[in-house]
Amino acid sequence: MATAELSERETGNLMEKIVSLAKRRGFFFQSSEIYGGIQGIWDYGPLGVALRNNIKRAWWRTNVELRDDVVGIDAGILMNPRVWVASGHVQNFTDPLVECKKCHQRFRADQVSGPRHEEDGGEFTEAQQFNLMFKTFMGPVENSSTQVYLRPETAQGIFVNFANILTSTRLRPPFGIAQIGKAFRNEITPGNSIFRMREFEQMELEYFCRAEEGMKLLEYWKEERLKFYEDIGIARDKLHVLTVPDEGRAFYSKGTYDIEYDFPFGRQELEGVAYRTDYDLSQHQKASGKSLEYFDEETKQKFIPHVVEPSAGVDRTVLALICEAYTEDEAPDDKGKMETRTVLRFHPRMAPIKCAVFPLLKNKEDLVAKAKAIVDLLRPHMFVFYDESGAIGRRYRRQDEIGTPFGITVDFETLGEKGAELRDTVTLRERDSMKQQRVAIKDLANILVSRIS
Ligand code: ATP
């Protein structure tokens, strides 16, 4: 479903449908909903957490485990507050904020059109810089000396551990340090469900190199990251690369790309890939007084490495995958009448549940026992779901709606009641085509593993 072909009402509807499906089936919920919610915070349900884990695992596998030159870390959310002075966040991590003089609602100045509030005509105040970092206190005394910040990005945990990684591993530039973890930003206007949140998760990689390699590696990582999104099931023609113009880049960055996705509400950033020069390490070296140089034994040269940073959001990737997967088509119900079918066409590798197993009837002991034996057979290889309730068509439909790529039905043929040649075979149904084939139970694990990997 190309976004360009949808009217504004349809795209609005599409987001409504997606958010309602997410809630109905347990992908994500508004946080603290029974108390009226809390703006910008979302909780993930059973399917959402499975999808997130698949995304994070794919990112970690691609960027850490399958490479010789990248290692992982997991740093604290709270850090010495001097980190955020050195990094520039205390001074500069701000958005311009305006307030409507009539209704006192606040907005990001770069997200309003014109000098007045469209809804009530109220004049906006002059823009003020608003720092997006959340603050809290460490220890029993609450004053400015005990104030700490919830990290607004995971990257600084990598920079301040640079020397620890150098001495504890035998890595030499170019090499990277990767981290996945929570970040917090007091966004002025969170919105579009999990697109812009106040608590979210990032997947960041800092790839350290020599100055002369920076621009080339920026291109390399942009391409690697595009490949990743394609690998997890996002169509290449829905992904776009924006070259961030000089005025949109941090002053120290020599080049930044935004990887954007065509969300139903417009083309928006999924990930930033930035060549940050040696800014971060230089700043921390200056502020901490500790050397963050690399000494090259061969050339006897000392230098502060430059860095290229691909920085992705877990939650935005979840939303992109759901938007990409959401489809409606027509399929016959149990009586053969055509009805609208909602399907999440996830790539099998990303699908929260890989396979559902159904006994044709729940009150036939032999069918149930056989189906449960198949669950036991497949469970060591993948996330399997067992369902015995309702008509078989309804059960298929429930799995289609959450993107389960395969369904297995155990019927009387399986028990050998319709001929010996069909004994110990099952129906394997494919989600997208709805095609069914007869497969021997002993071949199931091999067939499914090869199709979900
Ligand atoms: P935006 O311009 O949308 O505010 P940004 O350019 O400030 O994003 P970065 O600082 O580059 O974002 O963060 C890297 C990635 O972290 C983003 O591409 C996005 O995937 C994710 N991210 C940033 N802010 C949020 C947020 N408030 N909610 C969810 N994900 C976020």
312 CA distance to ligand 1 centroid (A)? 8
Give the length of the chain: 453
What is the pLDDT at residue 393?
92
From atom 16 of ligand 1, which residue's Cα is the shortest distance away?
313
User: Which atom of ligand 1 is the closest one to the Cα of 204?
Assistant: 14
The model's pLDDT over 192-226, given as tens digits with 9 standing for 90+, comes to 999 999 999 999 999 999 999 999 999 999 999 99
Peptide bond preceding 264 in cis form (omega within 30 of 0): no
| H helices present in 73-149, as ranges | 82-86, 89-92
The model's pLDDT over 376-428, given as tens digits with 9 standing for 90+, comes to 999 999 999 999 999 999 999 999 999 999 999 999 999 999 999 999 999 99
Q: For residues 51 and 28, is the Cβ–Cβ distance under 8 A? A: no
Domain ranges for the chain: 3-82+146-321, 353-452
What kind of fold does domain 3-82+146-321 have according to CATH? Answer: BirA Bifunctional Protein; domain 2 (3.30.930)
From atom 12 of ligand 1, which residue's Cα is the shortest distance away?
272
What is the pLDDT at residue 7?
66
pLDDT band at 453 (very low <50, low <70, confident <90, very high): confident
Which whole-number Å values give the CA distances from 20 to 13, 15, 315, in the listed order? 10, 8, 17
Q: What is the mean pLDDT of residues 87-104?
A: 94
pLDDT of 272 strictly over 60: yes
The superfamily CATH assigns to domain 353-452 is Anticodon-binding domain (3.40.50.800)
- Fill in the DSSP letter of residue 238: G
Name the residue of 133, 311, 318, 321 to mutate for ligand 1: max ligand atoms within 8 A of Cβ.
Answer: 311
The model's pLDDT over 231-253, given as tens digits with 9 standing for 90+, comes to 999 999 999 999 999 999 989 99
- Alpha-carbon span 358 to 188, nearest angstrom: 48
The model's pLDDT over 296-321, given as tens digits with 9 standing for 90+, comes to 988 999 999 999 999 999 999 999 99
CB-defined site of ligand 1, < 6 Å = 185, 187, 196-197, 200, 202, 269-272, 311-313, 315-316
Adjacency order of strands within the sheet including 175-184: 70-72, 175-184, 199-209, 306-313, 266-275, 255-263, 239-243
- Alpha-carbon span 284 to 304, nearest angstrom: 11
Name the residue of 269, 276, 314 to mutate for ligand 1: max ligand atoms within 8 A of Cβ.
Answer: 269
The model's pLDDT over 21-77, given as tens digits with 9 standing for 90+, comes to 999 999 999 999 999 999 999 999 999 999 999 999 999 999 999 999 999 999 999
pLDDT band at 332 (very low <50, low <70, confident <90, very high): confident
- Alpha-carbon span 294 to 411, nearest angstrom: 66
What is the pLDDT at residue 113?
87
pLDDT of 4 strictly over 60: no
Structure tokens that stand for 346 in this block: 């996830």
